[in-house]
Structure 1
Amino acid sequence: MSLTDGVLVIFIVLMLLYALYDEFGMNLLKGKNLLKIPLKRSNRLDCLIFVGLIAILIYHNLINQGAILTTYLLISLALIAVYIAYIRWPKMLFKSQGFFYANTFIKYQRIKAMNLSEDGILVIDLEQRRLLIQVTQLDDLDKIYHFFVENQ
């Protein structure tokens, strides 16, 4: 196994760990899910560019008759990237002590203010940061509102 193959294996393992954490880990951490809201996808163009660059590497490897293991690893990396960007839905999970947003847990005590913009973006101000939350359906904003009213 070459150094390139080793690096590809490391990236594949890291991406798989991220996908598993996003799909299953957040559901199991910090207690029971009280509310689950799907969010709009972002960075789809970035993934398309990344997969395009990987396709160029696959083509280059095939033309130069490189190692077949490298080709398989590049294809695996591209498939995982497509899963993360196009198949998986980002979500916001509300728990009893806080919520998961962008794979990080934020306690409710950190919220300083909440506002709703005219175009349906929920703005949550934390101590040093502002979260811009775009939901897939506007009805989900009503669910979030009722959740905060009932649980705070």
Structure 2
Amino acid sequence: MTLTDVALLVLIFLFLLYAVYDEIIMSARNGKTLLRVNLRRRNKIDSLIFVALLAILAYKNITDHGTAFTTWLLCTLAIIVIYVFYIRWPKLLFKAEGFYYGNVFILYSRIKNMNLSEDGYLVIDLEKRRLLIQVARMDDLDDILKFFVEHQ
């Protein structure tokens, strides 16, 4: 097994670990999920470039008569990347004591101010940081408002 194969195996393992954390573990941590809101996908061009680079590497490996194992690893990584960037939705999970945004749990007590911008961003001011949250559907902003009214 070459160093390239080891690096590909590590990347595949890390992407799978992230996917399991994002889909299963995060939903179960810090209590029951009270509201789940899909967020708008970002960085579509960057992820397309990454998938294209993986395709170029697989093509180069095939034309240079590289090992079949490396080709399979590249294809597996491309499939996982397509899932993570294009099939899976980034989400906002509201729990009883806080919410998950960007896979980080934020307590409600850290919220100093909340606003809604004209272009559909939910702006949440924390102690030292500002979160700009853009939901996939505008109706979800009403659900978030109802959630905060009912649970605060």
Equivalent-residue separation in structure 1 for 2:140 and 2:33 (angstroms): 16
Q: String of CA shifts for 1:61-101, please: whole Å, max 9, x gaps.
A: 11110111100000011111100111001111000010001
Q: Does 1:47 align with 2:47?
A: yes
Structure 1 runs (4+) deviating above 3 angstroms are none
Q: Which residue matches 2:93?
A: 93
Q: Deviations over 1:24-64 (max 9, x none)?
A: 11111000011111111111111100011111111111111
Matches of 2:100 and 2:42 in 1, distance apart?
17
Structure 2: how far apart are the matches of 1:89 and 1:112? 27
Give secondary structure in 2 for the equivalent of 1:146: helix
Report the TM-score, using the length of structure 1 for normalisation.
Answer: 0.98
Residue 75 of structure 2 aligns with an amino acid whose one-letter code is I
User: Is residue 2:101 matched to residue 1:132?
Assistant: no
Instruction: Name the SS for the 2:21 alignment partner.
Output: helix
2:150 aligns to what SS in structure 1?
helix
Which residue in the other structure is 1:3 paired with? 3
1:82 aligns with 2:82: yes
- Give the equivalent residue in structure 1 for 2:148: 148
**What letter matches 2:82 in structure 1?**
V
Task: Give the gaps of 5 or more residues in structure 2.
Answer: none
Alpha-carbon distance, 1:11 to partner: 0.4
CA distance in 2, matches of 1:146, 1:125: 19
Q: Which residue of 1 aligns with 2:25?
A: 25
The two structures have a TM-score, normalised by structure 2, of 0.98
Instruction: State how many pairs are aligned.
Output: 152
Give secondary structure in 1 for the equivalent of 2:37. Answer: strand
- Measure, in 1, the Cα distance between the counterparts of 2:62 and 2:136: 41
Shift of 1:138: 1.3
Measure, in 1, the Cα distance between the counterparts of 2:145 and 2:96.
15
Q: State the 1:146 CA deviation.
A: 1.2
Q: Distance in 2 between matches of 1:57 and 1:139?
A: 42
Aligned partner of 1:116 in structure 2 is: 116
